[in-house]
Structure 1
Amino acid sequence: MDEFELIEALRTRFTGTGGTTVPLVDIGDDAAVLPSDERPLVLSVDASVEGVHFEQRFAPAEDIGYRALMAAASDLAAMGADAEAALLGLIIAAGAEPAWLLALADGVAAAASATGLRVVGGNVSRGARTSLTTTVTGRLPLGSAGLRRTGARVGDDVYVSGHPGLAALGLAIIQGGARDAQGAEAQAAARRAQDQAVAHWRRPHARLTLGAVLRQRATSAVDLSDGLLQDLAHVAHASGVGVELEEDALPMAAGFEDACVALGMSAVDTVLSGGEDYELAFTAPPELRDELAEVAPTAVRVGAVVSLPGVRVLTHEKTPRALSGLAGFRHRW
C-alpha cells in the first residue's frame, strides 16, 4: 500500500464521521476548509520524521525546523489562505542535545516569522525518532472556499511558479557533494545554480502571497511537495481532466542544466519529478494570460488542460516524452 492508497482508504472511513460541521472542503485536497461565522477556517497538518524527511548529518537543526513549518504553510498557500496560527507536536529521540533542540525551535520561529504564522502551542514527548508534526490554520475571505484541486477545465493554461527541481538538485549536492561542469563558463553558471539549489532546499518559502493573488483568478491549484508530474496528476484526477506539459516551457534556473549534468542527472527529469520545492502549480483561463504576467510574474505557463486523462509531457517535436520511473515521491508501507 502506498501513501495515496492509504489516504483514499482513510478518506472513505473518515468522511462524514463525527461532529455536526460539514466542511466546505473535505479530505483529499491540500487542506480542509470549515465554515465559520466569520472568515472560513483552513486547516492542514504536515509531519517531518527523522530518517524519512531529514537526517541530522545533512542539515543543521535550524533548517530542519524551518522546513517543517514551511512545508505545512505551503498547503495554506495552495488553498489561497492567509496564514494565521500553528501548533507544533515535537517527538524527541533519546540523546538529543538541548542546544540542538533550541536551534530546531529557532528554525521553526524563523519560518513562522517569514510566513506570518504565530506558533500558539503544541506538545512535546519522547520517541524512537525525532519528528515534528505541524498543524497550521489560515483564513479565507468571506464566502470563499479557496483554491481547489477540482476546478481545472479543458482549455485552461497550466502554470508553475519558481523553478521546480531546484530542491532535488540541492539535496543531491548536500548528500553527494558538488561537481564541476565542463568548461569555465559552464562551471561558473553551474556553481551559482548549485549554491541556489542548496539554499532552496535548506530554506524553501511557501508561496502565500501568490496563493492570495490567485484566489479570484486560478481555477485550481496544488503545492509542489511530491514533484511536478505527481502533483499535477492529483489535479488532473480530482478535476476529471488531463494535463499536457511542454518540455520546452519548463522553467530552469541559469546553470541548472549544467549543474544537473555534472551530477549525472537529467535536468528535465529533475524538474518533472523532484519534490519539496513548495512552489505552486495552478490552472487559469487563457484570457488571463496578460493579467497573470503582471500580478504573478514568478509563474510561467508550461502547458494546457486537455480532455484525455493523465499527465503527458510533449517534446520539442510534439511527441510524448517517456515518463517511466518519474512517479515522484510517495511513502510506501
Structure 2
Amino acid sequence: MKLRYTLFSGIFALTLLLITELLLRMGLTFFGYPFLRPADYLFTRFYDNMQELRTKEVRRGGPVKSVLILGGSVVSAPFSHMESRLDTILRKHYGPGADFAFYNIACPGHTSLDNALKYSLLEDHRFDLVIYYEAINENRANNIPPALFSDDYTHMRWYHDIHLLRAHPELNFTVIPYLIHIAASHLRDRLIHQTYISMEQVDPQFEQYGADIKTGASYRKNMEQIIQIARKRGDRLLLMSYASYFPPHVILTGEQQDMDHFAGCRFASPTLIWGRPENVKKGIDVHNAILRSLVRQYRPMFLDMEARMPKEQNLFCDVCHLSEPGAQRFAHEIVEFIIRHKILE
C-alpha cells in the first residue's frame, strides 16, 4: 500500500510538473518565446539578423570566400549595405570567377559586447575573413552615475535580460527555473529601486556622467574575446579604428540645425542619442586608443579607418554614419586593404 501511494504521488507530481511546464511555455509564446525552443528567444528577440546565418554551413578555404561583418549601424545592412558594396567591388576586381559570401550581422545600437557574444554563438562556422567596426555605441553605457555602472553593462535593461537568459542553459528542457529567476530579479529591482538606462537613447538627467568613460575596460575585454575567438578558430580578423566627424568650431546641440554641418542625408542621428557631443568624441578616442593597444599586443590585421577617412562634411550624415560618397570611400578603403594584403586569394 505504501509503495502504491508513493508511486501514485510521484506520477501525480510529475503530471502536475508537466502541465505547469506546458502552461508556462504557452504563456511565454505571447511574449515571443518559441514554444519548443524557448532559448531561441535570444535570436528572435535580441539577435534576429543571425537567424539565417545560424542555419547555414559556413566553411572557409573553399571556392566561395566567406566574410563575416560585425559592428554597429555604420556597417549594417539597413544603413550602408556594406556587404553588397564590398561584394560588388571585389567581384569587379577579381573577375567573373570570383565568388564571395558576405554575412552581415552588424546591427544598429550594438556594442562590442553584443558583437563578442554573436561571434561566440557562431561556434560551428568558419570564415575566411571577419571584419569588425564599432566604437561609438558603448558611449550610452557611460551615461549613468559611477555607482550604478556595471562592467557587463547590465545597468542597461537589454543586457540584463540577455545575461539572465544565458544564465539558464536548461531553458529548452524546462522554463521553470528561468521564470523563477525572472520573478526574483523583478522583486529585487523593486526592493532596491534598481535604475536601468536605455541602449537606444540617453536620459538627460544622467548625460553629465558621460564625461567619465567607464566603458574602457569592458571594451578591451570584449575586443580581446573577439580576437581570441578568431585565433582559436583560425579566422582572419580585420579590426578598424573608428572614423568620426565632429564639425570644427561648431557646438552640436541635438537640434535640427546640427544637420547643416553634415552631408544632408535622408537619415541622420543626433549626437545626443549617445550623450553630450564632447563626451561622445572622448569615448570614441578612448575606445580607438584601446583598439590600437590591442593591435600592438595581438597583431591582428588593422586598417586605420580613422586616419583613412577624410574629415569632410560631404562624407558624413552625422558624427559617424556615412553619406553615399562616404560609404563608397569606406568600402573602397576596405577592398584596397584586402587586395593589397591578398587576404581572400
**Shorter-chain TM-score: which interval?**
under 0.3
Q: If each structure's helix is expressed as a fraction of its own residues, which one has the higher value?
A: 2
Higher Rg: 2
The structure, 1 or 2, with the larger RCO (C-alpha pairs under 8 Å, 6+ apart) is: 1
TM-score of the superposed pair, with normalisation by structure 1: 0.24
TM-score of the superposed pair, with normalisation by structure 2: 0.24
